[in-house]
Amino acid sequence: MTDVIVAEGLRKEFTVRVRAGRLRREKRRVAAVDGVDLRVARGEMLGYIGPNGAGKSTTLKMLTGVLMPSAGEVRVCGLRPVAERTRLALRIGVVFGQRSQLWWDLPLRDSFALLRHVYRVPADAHAARLRRCRSLLDLDAFLDVPVRQLSLGQRMRGELTAALLHGPEVLFLDEPTIGLDVVSRQAVRGFLAELGRAGDTTLVLTTHDLADIERLCARLVVVDHGRVVHDGSIAELHRRYGSRRLLVADLETAPARPPALPGAPLERVEADGHRLVYALESAGVADVVAALAGLGALRDVSIVEPDIEDVVARLYRREDQGCSITSTAKVPGASAS
């Protein structure tokens, strides 16, 4: 079995009470996660994004055994997360960006030592992993500082280490870069990229910072209102939503008529015909450059990447128009105050 995470028709409903009139309150069933299908292969790095309340954290909680799905099937490392919670816990690592796995009043070093006992890790394997994290995440400067005195960036580096000391097969990260300064953010990203390159840890990451995704994840899953609205590479997302990479060519001599290139429609002409901007659809960069070189000397060629923020913002807005609360059912006889 190569898929380390398999979810089919995953669904989670919550009961919310809404005021209906002066004294009456109505119970409503609201689906936070509404039929998510997901397969993640071993070693894959998956970015899981969506607007606030889209169901990202709820999904992560169902995958880690914290919450029981209302419906649907889940297997992580071949285990049922809730029923086989403790066995699964030994094989996954979890970082909740706004919650801590560390002991507040103890030096960071002590938390790591404790987790060795909690996860029953052999001393040599534990020491080797800790050594690696210490050098990659620069922990040495604050290893003896109580966790409550650490900066957020230092603490997050500690959390990452804590989640990895038992050598998990899957690492779940819920908003790992939230609130971090630029330097810490880059340290965390660099570390996760390194982890991904090693290839034996599967990574599932929720974030609001799309730079995390661009830097780390080949695959992007966008959820909104509890449903998957995109699952594929970032390039596919751009293709689907009409944002394209642009090739900008500066020419020595302006051609009489800009050439039409197959798979690369001309976007616009600037600088009195000296600058041609083509959209890269199906044509490769090399083909376009070769065709343009035939026109005469090229002064400069550059590629402009589309802004993923724009694409995703558009994607969220589009979904917003479609539906509101996905499933609303009145529970009979539920009126109390």
Partner 1 sequence: MAERPRPGGALAAYRALLGAQARSQAAYRASFVVDVLGNVGSTVFDVLTVLVIFGVTRELGGFTLRETMVIVGLATAAFATADLLVGNIERLPRYVRTGLFDAVLVRPLGTLPQLLLMDLPLRKVSRAVFGLAVLVVALGSAGIDWTPARVALVVVAPLAGVVFFGSVFVATATVSFWWVDSGELANAVTYGGRDFTAYPVTVYGGWFRALFAYGLGFAFVSYHPALALLGRADPLGLPAAVGWAAPAVALVAAALAAAAWRTGVRHYRSTGS
The site for partner 1 (CB under 8 A) is made up of: 12, 14-15, 58, 61, 64-68, 70, 82, 85-87, 89-92, 94, 96, 98-101, 103-106, 110, 113-114, 117-122, 125, 146, 166-169, 200
CB 58 to partner 1: min, Å: 7
With b for 16 or more beta-carbon neighbours within 10 A and e for fewer, the 243-276 pattern comes to: bbbbbbbebeeeeeebeebeebeeeeeeeeeebb
C-beta of 103 vs 241, nearer to partner 1: 103
**Whole-number Å distance between alpha carbons of 248 and 268:** 10
Distance of CA 152 to the CA centre of its chain: 20
CB 201 to partner 1: min, Å: 10
C-beta of 129 vs 230, nearer to partner 1: 129
Return the axis-axis angle of helices 182-198 and 123-137, rounded to nearest 10°.
130
Question: ∠109-157-200 over CA atoms, to 5°?
Answer: 100
CB 45 to partner 1: min, Å: 18
CB 101 to partner 1: min, Å: 5
Q: What type of residue is 92?
A: I
CB 199 to partner 1: min, Å: 13
Distance of CA 145 to the CA centre of its chain: 31
CB 225 to partner 1: min, Å: 17
C-beta of 95 vs 292, nearer to partner 1: 95
C-beta of 57 vs 258, nearer to partner 1: 57
Nearest to 215 by CA among 238, 200, 229, 195: 195
C-beta of 95 vs 247, nearer to partner 1: 95
Nearest to 331 by CA among 33, 36, 24: 24
Q: Which residue shows structure tokens 């534990």?
A: 126
Q: Three-class SS of residue 300?
A: strand
Q: Give Dmax (Cα) for the chain.
A: 80
C-beta of 64 vs 177, nearer to partner 1: 64
Sign of the CA dihedral 73, 75, 78, 82? negative
